Structures are given as C-alpha cells and as structure tokens.
Amino acid sequence: MKISEKYYSWLNHPEMPDYLKNELKLMSKEDIENAFFKDVEFGTAGMRGLLGAGTNRLNIFTVRRATIGFANYLSTICKNAKKRGVAIAHDNRYMSREFTMDIANTLNKMGFDAYVFNSLRPTPQLSYAVRELNCIGGIVITASHNPKEYNGYKVYDEDGCQLIPEKIDGLLEQINKLPDFLNLKTPVCKKNGITHEIPLSFDDKYIEAVKSIQINNELRKDDFKVVFSPQHGTGSMLGMRLLNELGYAVYPVSSQLDPLPGFDNTKSPNPEDPAAYEQALIIAEDVEADLIVVTDPDADRVGVGYRNRFGKYDLFTGNDSGALLLDYLLSERQKRGLLRKNSTLYTTIVTSKLGVDVAKSYGINVKLFLTGFKFIGHEYSLDEVSGDAHFEFGYEESYGCLIKPFVRDKDALQALVMYLEMANYYKKKDMTLDQAYDVLCSKHGYYSDITKSITFEGAKGALEMEEMLSKIRATPPKKIADQKVIAIEDYLTRIRQSIKGDEKIKLPQSDVIKFYLENENTVTIRPSGTEPKCKFYYGVKSLVSKEKAVKTANEYHLSMLSIIDK
C-alpha cells in the first residue's frame, strides 16, 4: 500500500479518535511520509517512537497490535500463559497510563490475567514483579531518556529480562500474521482474564531487596550530603524513600520531583546530557553537597556528579562511574573473601576496556555482549541454572548497571545505593571521587571513551544512514587519524577480518562495525536502537593523562567525519 493510501485509510477510519484525526488533518506532505513510510520497529530496547498518528508512531493502534502479537507469542511458548499472566508498568509520559490500561483490557479479552501497578513505577521494579508474581511476561510503557514527544513499549520474558533477538523474532512472527493496524480486532476468549492491582507491599519488598546489597552499611550517612533528581520520572517516590530510609542528608531538586509528562522543569531528562544537571548543580553548590545523582525517567540509569578535590563539581561518564564502582565492589568483596573462581563481569563491546582491565586485575572472568542489557540479563539467567558463572556486576556505557540480579535489567535504585556508599566510603578516607579515579587510572591507564552521534531524522534520514553504513562497509578506512586499522569486526556478517585471516564472531548478528587500530584503540559504529541516530564510540587509552586520551578520541572523530564526507 502506498504512503498516501495508508494516510487516507487512517484519516477516514470510523474508529479513529478525534485527537488523532485532527493531527492527521494538519500533517504536511513530509509529516505524512515520516509517519507512514514504515511500521514502528522493535530495536535494542523494545518498540520506541514519536507519539501520534501513523504506522511509524506510538498510538493506540500500534500498541494494541503489539500486545495482541505478544499475547499470541506467549501462548505458543507456555500452555499456562493466560493464567500466569502479564505484569505491566509505565512511566510519566503522555499516554503511558492510557496505553497501560488498554493493554490490560486487550490481554483480559484474550483470556490473560494482567498485573498493573496503581501508578508509575521504575522499569527495574517491573522486572522484579515479573519474577515475584511468576508471570509469563511483562510490558513497560516508557521511552526512557527520549524527549517528551516519544513513548515506547518494552517486552519482558518470564525471567524479567527484555526479549533477546531470537525471542523478538518469535514475537514478530506472530505480529506479522495479524491484519493491518486498522482492520485488526482483538480476539475474544470465552473466559476473560482479570486485571489485578499489584499491592503496595511490592514496593516494600523491592526496597528491602535493594537495601540488602549494601556492603559497608555501618558507615555513618547523615553527614553525607546528596542532591537527587528523578527528572520528573518514576524514580521520584521510591528514590526519595530509599535515600531517606538509608539515612543520607538528601536535598531533592523539588521542581523535578513531580511526574510531569512534559518534563517541564528540566532541559533534558537524559543523564548523559550535562543539561540534565543544571538545577541539581545550583543546589549542590549552595549546600556544598558531596554527590549529585540523577535518574532517567524510567529509573533504570543513574548519572553521577561529584565535588572534586578543589571544591568544584564534575560529572562522570557512564564508563568512568561504572569502572570506579566495579573496582570498589570487587575490592570490598575481595577483602571479605567473597570472590569466587567463576566470579564474572558482564559488560558490552562498546563499554570502556577500563572495566575489563579492572576485572582481570582481581582475577575475575569477563563476558562481553552486544549493546542492550537484555543480553546481560539473558546470559545470567542461563548461567544461574548451569552454575558456569557467578554474577559480580553488570554495566554498560550508557549509565546502566546492576549489582545484584534479583532484577534482570539495569536498576537505578540499586545503583543509587552503591554510588552513595562508594562516595561515602572514600569521603571517610578523606578522598574525593576524582582522587579515587586517579588512583584507579594510575594502575590501569587513562581511558577516554567518547560517544558521538549523527542524527538522521525521518524517511530521508533513515535512507542516508543506511547509505553511509553501506559505504563504510564497501570501502572501510585503512587508517583513522594517524593509526593503521589492523582488524575489522562486522557484526552484520559476523566476520572479523585481520592479517590472521577471517574469523567467525560468536555474538549474534547486529548492525555494528568495529575497527581495531595498531595502538590497540578502537572505533565502533552502530545505529541507535532507540533514536534516529548513528553512534560512534571511540575507545582510547593513554599512559600519559586523561587529557591526552580525550584529545586522541576527538581526533579520531574528526577523521571519521572526513572519511564519511569523501
């Protein structure tokens, strides 16, 4: 069906809500193309897109079709799926509650029980609820850190882990069997399912589980000042409760506590963006806070700011904060004799090699995965059964980490506990976090792991990004800046090319290209699975200084831009 035909079928559909019909009427030719040139897709973190009318948008029709497909998929993998039911959570975004209740109603009509929180909750709490309630799956309505115009749809398996590609393939097979969005009718089961409200006692159980991860819980906390912002998201209620119950001197960014769907009082809800910290920094400077912690809207990631040795405030990258936390955890566990022969770090191919070096210095194993915490959660679920590996820590460069796997996704509440404990521990030793990080780098080298992005909006942008990646694959660079490329890993073909010959890559297929340089630095390219961007990851190590590593990483990016423009 042509784009124009799709557009008019939506515009003239008798069940089209007025708010979507009005939006359709106001669309320009370019708007129509972008809204209908494809169906909204499942990426690295589920289905995510702009809210609005169209097949490439998040709306009641695209969400309902995904739900029917998910229910059919669950029925194929478990005879008792309907009775075990599906847990559902949502964030603060526009349409999140409406989508949640429509999902529950759709599942009920199909005979599934549904378990729904009474209001917004953190994504990791959904993972926890799936496991505690013995559900066959879970759904979270969230677009994480994306701007207010977006929403998303994440799906979870019975282990509380986001679906890995092979399971997504099974889900897509079911979705593709369905009629188009507008002609689809919800199948009605003879016996309807029931929607259960998840009791408030689940908050208590989850909070207690989170608090149990403390190592040095005897440290005095009321003399440690922390500024906290949930960025209007799901971390507000439980995050504040957790920090207060732990006993820290908490200074919330009060203007960012309310779950406003428009993110009214923040320039960015993304902890990776320095603009997300502007109000928190004002409060921190006023009260001379020791630490700033910022959770993203669905509370699965944490950004960290700290007061340095000069009394000024700096921000950590996810690579730096994760590596420092890893070192703290392993050091403290080693002191207590808790590390095992099969102790393992779970991380990704675009996360800084500093973490790998730290792990190996403690004699623990490392497992590397493609981007997306679902791979970490799934692998540990297998390892838990086999006993092949003991989970010590899991993290990725985009500010997500997991300390204890009673959740099978990244967990900002757990991260809050341990980042505060770590900073408090070093404070009691008269060390700031920059000093602790310098000690770490003196052992392992100075790393700069910079991520740059190029945005490709709409149908035209998607084609341009595809052409760019095809060009890089067809004529890969022989040098990046002044460094010779000695190996190339293409995860789309799953082949590693080097002077040793071609080797098969054991990880799943993915649209990722990684270049290894003669000085052991790396450049990795991958399209974002959550935004219309292509990401460039520069992994650089210097034995001289952090500044030298940063300078080199930026030189690599300028070189890549030049290569792309040729």
Concatenated DSSP letters for 408-461? SS--HHHHHHHHHHHHHHHHHTT--HHHHHHHHHHHH-EEEEEEEEEE--HHHH
Task: Report the distance separating Cα 566 and Cα 5, nearest Å.
Answer: 38
Three-class secondary structure assignment of 29-40: HHHHHHHHCCCC
Cβ atoms of 323 and 352 within 8 Å: the answer is yes
Cβ burial of 160 (10 Å; 0-12, 13-18, 19+) is: buried
Cβ atoms of 269 and 297 within 8 Å: the answer is yes
Task: Report the distance separating Cα 279 and Cα 266, nearest Å.
Answer: 8
- For residue 154, what are its two tokens? 């994440």
- For residue 480, what are its two tokens? 């990046």
Task: Report the distance separating Cα 403 and Cα 292, nearest Å.
Answer: 20
- For residue 26, what are its two tokens? 């106001």
Concatenated DSSP letters for 78-97? -TTHHHH-EEEEE-SSTTHH
Residue partners of 45: CB distance under 8 A and separation at least 6:
144, 152, 154, 162, 372, 529, 530
Per DSSP, helices labelled H in 223-341 are 235-246, 278-287, 318-335
Task: Report the distance separating Cα 344 and Cα 368, nearest Å.
Answer: 10
Catalytic residue among 127, 144, 510, 542: 144
Cβ burial of 263 (10 Å; 0-12, 13-18, 19+) is: buried
* Type of residue found at 153: Y
Task: Determine whether 144 is an active site residue.
Answer: yes
DSSP state at residue 475: S
- For residue 307, what are its two tokens? 């007061």
Residues annotated as catalytic are 144
